[in-house]
Structure 1
């Protein structure tokens, strides 16, 4: 059981993370070396399918990146798991979720996919875990894909990096600046590959690529101002706020993890976690992680940030949902550019001295 006080100080935050994290450091090369030595002990011949050697355009198993999925909810399955399954050079070995129904759904999806695409009969090679540490402890897994609620992003990511694994993690990466500093420092120290799951940067949404290319190449003159518009209010999925026991097969205590103690109710978990400050930040972090990132990209300030921030917001005073429903925030950068983030309808606008 994991607990920490709400909104810890940076010093306590680092201490809490240190206490919560421990991981294996074995590499994939060591695993493969052990497997080769073991196979050398075999004293009888056997037939190796040509596909196992990379024939027919297939990627040989030894060349595939082995993956473990931590968090298999809507986005974890619908976008990330199905997305990686489409890549021949990736191999999903394990899935993890604190919700039994969700992780078994993910396991079935993986095994059905490989049964159909590998052409070697029923595939039963995907393990399912309740605890993400079981995935991180696996020496045969190269990288993890983290699609948990936001408050559970940093700890698995840091543990995976320390264990020598690369990381793909959903946005927003962290809930605090201190967490972000710890994560960044850890990835750099252990020389891992880390990617943020932000589909607005992917080739599927080319308009943002084009927009930032034009702005950064001076097509609107010198950039002066950026306006980012995010949805206002909340998109709450109907669920009861009545306190009750967690359903069978749902490890609610593990779901809370590093967040403060709170009684279970159906409305608190899964999709609706976005509207509770202990776990997320509402549209400001959910959609903001996309569009504010594009603003940073266009402003060529991806590796830094604003020097001044001021703003205001409206926060509900009743019920469990307490993220801001309205906000108006202004950022000022060292290059003189200003950024205004407001709650209205999704959009982004770059304004220069020669156009917008």
Structure 2
């Protein structure tokens, strides 16, 4: 256990720590390129319900983040998200198409619960780091698969754990 913790600590540098923890800002190291300290992180938002709206507001306040894409199956929500983001944001009715977008370094998943595991694994396989809302999975085996896929593709996956219990 201590050996694993030491290995994890040594693999984190300041930038990766800040990106993995600071206001849910994700790491920017994509498999295609490594961002420098002064570059911006391209975020793709998957799902624009109440939680997605909250995440969008949080990420828009981050100085080193660009919201570059949104994926939402519901057309009206897709357009609302694009309007809220502003600019030349890429719009996708199918999240899988967004995962092909080279401008997206990381994704924020705020879809219905049963999508979380699959979308996380596909994002990792596409070379994207992931911030995913709770619950991570519906079944324990999905969690194991997620860990395997994240390790295989050397991706960072962060789970949202805010407001885990009632008022």
Question: Does TM, normalized by the shorter one, top 0.5?
Answer: yes
Deviation at 1:195, TM superposition (A): 0.7
Query: In the alignment, is the contact (CA less than 8 A) between 1:28 and 1:142 conserved in 2?
Result: no
1:64 and 2:64 aligned: no
Per the TM alignment, residue 155 of structure 1 is displaced from its structure 2 partner at its CA by: 1.1
Query: Partner residue of 1:20?
Result: none
1:310-329 paired onto structure 2 within 5 Å? none
Which of 29, 46, 52 is matched with 1:76 structurally? 52
Contact 1:27 1:139 in 2 (8 A): no
- 1:28 CA drift (Å): 3.9
2 CA distance for matches of 1:27 and 1:105? 31
**What CA distance in whole angstroms lies between the structure 1 residues aligned with 2:63 and 2:72?**
24
Partner residue in 2 for 1:102: 77
Q: Is the 8 A contact 1:96 1:103 kept in 2?
A: yes
The Cα of 1:29 is off from its aligned counterpart by 1.5
Aligned counterpart, 1:129: 92
Aligned residue in 2 for 1:93: 68
How far apart, CA to CA, are the structure 2 residues paired with 1:191 and 1:96?
A: 24
Structure 2 residue 115 is matched with structure 1 residue 152: yes
In structure 2, the residue matched to 1:27 is 31
| Cα shift readout 1:143-181 (whole Å, capped 9, x = no counterpart) | 000000001111111011111110000000100011111
Write out per-residue CA displacement over residues 70-123 of structure 1, whole angstroms, 9 at most, x where no aligned residue. Answer: 10111111x111111110101111101111111110100111xxxxxxxxxxx3
Quick one: distance in 1 between partners of 2:57 and 2:162?
14
- 2:50 and 2:32 mapped to 1: Cα distance? 30
Paired with 1:29 and 1:185, the residues of 2 have a C-alpha distance of: 22
Give the drift of 1:134: 1.0
Does 1:173 pair with 2:139?
A: no
TM-score by length of 1: 0.37
Give the Cα–Cα distance (whole angstroms) in 2 for the partners of residues 179 and 87 of structure 1.
Answer: 31
Q: TM-score, normalised by structure 2?
A: 0.76
- Summarize the alignment of residues 154-303 of structure 1 with structure 2, pairs less than 5 Å apart: 154-200=117-163, 290-291=164-165
What is the distance in 2 between the residues matched to 1:70 and 1:110? 13
The structure carrying a bigger helix percent of its residues is 2
Structure 1 SS opposite 2:73 = coil
Q: Secondary structure at the match of 2:33?
A: helix
Distance 1:140 1:99 in 2: 23
In structure 2, how many angstroms separate the alpha carbons of the residues matched to 1:105 and 1:188? 35
Within 2, Cα distance between the matches of 1:197 and 1:159?
18
Q: Structure 2: where are the runs of 5+ without partners?
A: 1-29
Q: Contact (CA 8 Å) 1:67, 1:144: kept in 2 or not?
A: yes
Q: Offset at 1:140?
A: 2.0
Runs of 4+ in 1 over 4 A off after TM superposition: none
Displacement after TM superposition at 1:197 (Å): 1.3
